[in-house]
Amino acid sequence: MSILAINSGSSSLKFGLFDAGTLEPLVEGDIDWAQGDRGQAKFTLRPQTGGQMTSLLSVPDDFAAAQCAVNAILNSGPPGGNGRVKVTVVGHRVVHGGAEFRDSVLIDDRVKGGIAGLNKLAPLHNPPLLKAIEAVEKSLPGVPQVAVFDTAFFAHLPPKAFLYALPYEYYERWGIRRFGFHGLSHGYCVGRAAELVGRPLSELRVISCHLGGGCSAAAVRGGEAIATTLGFSPLEGLMMGTRPGSVDPGILLHLQREHGLTVEELDRALNYSSGLLGISGVSSDLAQIETAAAQGNERARLAFDMFADRVRAAVGALAATMGGVDALTFTDRIGEHSAALRAAACEGLSFMGLCLDPERNADPKPDTDVARPDSAARVFVIHTQEELMVAREARRVMAAQAQSLQSR
């Protein structure tokens, strides 16, 4: 009996199979098309018994990617019988739950409709998620599915943090507010940071930086999120792979009025052509940008410097919001794997007790403290486990469902 967790991202699809009783990982995998060519997506399968398998696959659309992941899991069992794994429930990470979904929920037609209604606010994430749900319905008919929302972690932000300084009626009439994203990752990383520090999370002020295709930073005090950089949609805040982060809205009005750009053209530019890709002209992948910068590409160097500057500014602002910081965490593709970015982002933050150790930072293993021994605040490189968080929530929802049925 096992739980399949699917994490449909903007540049990858990650998945994991977990024991339904212990939540021990059985198989993990991902399909990565960060280079933008799904005809050459990198497929990796990592059984816990060993023997990692890697290949290049053609996944022309999100449905095909999800179906590939499901089939790989179903056929990952030991020899004997029909060789297929028994999946009890499937959990999905859902990026945008809006105001309606403040907790994990069993997926039905109403839930799918609610998620689809938010497609325009998360065009890189919610539509692929719906395709993944469809693929599971086809491959595992009758198996329950659970939606686990990234936005739920930020559902209890105080009004001063979630409201925009717009006419209040926009919030009252249309629900315009900050939602925040990457909640599963932030939730895992701050909990893991507390374990590594050896203090209760309730006593800590933690800044969590999720830096990948999408990027955000969050301030978590006493285990509760009190501020985050992402907002109404996954466009605000930090510079990202193909998204600009915060931008003067007057620029968009100017482009419409003076240069005739349509809403559709602006939407495309903001979601697919900005950020690291837009500035560097090289790639949305920071690793490729670092290589190009080392070879003398000035635009690549500029993109790197802009990105590091925005991460540093966010850390400083969030620390001020909490009145200090006890731990800073870096995770996901960039946060885990770019020593140069971590060094650049932390440069100049010693005034608030953040002091990076160059040797520890150079090549850390997952879940490592890379701060100097005398640093007043710890700096952790953490391997986020969103799929584990999804599996945990899926199990909780199914247990609550079973208890509810028994009490009737």
Confidence grade of residue 83 (pLDDT, cut at 50, 70, 90): low
Considering only residues 237 and 51, tell me which one the structure prediction assigns the higher pLDDT: 237
pLDDT at 34: 67
Considering only residues 406 and 99, tell me which one the structure prediction assigns the higher pLDDT: 99
Q: Is 147 exposed, middle or buried (0-12, 13-18, 19+ CB in 10 A)?
A: buried
> DSSP letter at 390?
H
**CA separation for the pair 321, 227 (Å, rounded):** 8
Half-sphere exposure of 193 (CA within 13 A, CB side): 33
pLDDT at 35: 65
**CA 284 to centroid of chain Cα atoms:** 16
Evaluate whether 340 touches 291 at the Cβ level (below 8 Å). no
**CA 275 to centroid of chain Cα atoms:** 16
pLDDT, average across residues 200-204? 97
Instruction: Give me the catalytic one of 30, 150, 285, 332.
Output: 150
**CA separation for the pair 91, 139 (Å, rounded):** 15
**CA 362 to centroid of chain Cα atoms:** 24
Evaluate whether 212 touches 182 at the Cβ level (below 8 Å). no
Lowest-pLDDT range, 147-161, 339-353, 393-407? 393-407
**Average pLDDT in the chain:** 93
Confidence grade of residue 260 (pLDDT, cut at 50, 70, 90): very high
Confidence grade of residue 215 (pLDDT, cut at 50, 70, 90): very high
State both tokens at 404: 């509810």
pLDDT at 122: 87
Confidence grade of residue 80 (pLDDT, cut at 50, 70, 90): very low
Tens digit of pLDDT for each residue in 107-129?
A: 999 999 999 999 988 888 899 99
Q: Is 309 a catalytic residue?
A: no
Confidence grade of residue 1 (pLDDT, cut at 50, 70, 90): confident
**CA separation for the pair 249, 263 (Å, rounded):** 13
Lowest-pLDDT range, 52-66, 93-107, 151-165, 386-400? 52-66
Q: Is 148 exposed, middle or buried (0-12, 13-18, 19+ CB in 10 A)?
A: buried
- Residue 269: pLDDT over 90: yes
**CA 169 to centroid of chain Cα atoms:** 31
Percentage of the chain beyond pLDDT 90 is 80
Alpha helices in 323-355 (DSSP H): 332-337, 339-346
Considering only residues 61 and 157, tell me which one the structure prediction assigns the higher pLDDT: 157
Ranges of CATH 3.30.420.40 domains, the chain = 2-155, 198-386
**CA separation for the pair 239, 255 (Å, rounded):** 20
Tens digit of pLDDT for each residue in 139-188?
A: 999 999 999 999 999 999 999 999 999 999 999 999 999 999 999 999 99
Percentage of the chain beyond pLDDT 70 is 97
Tens digit of pLDDT for each residue in 275-315?
A: 999 999 999 999 999 999 999 999 999 999 999 999 999 99
- Residue 253: pLDDT over 90: yes
We find that the CATH architecture of domain 2-155 is: 2-Layer Sandwich (3.30)
Q: At what angle do helices 109-116 and 126-139 cross, to 10 degrees?
A: 150
The domain over range 198-386 is classified in CATH as 2.170.120.12: no
pLDDT, average across residues 27-56? 83
The DSSP element (H or E) to which 320 belongs, if any, is: helix 298-322
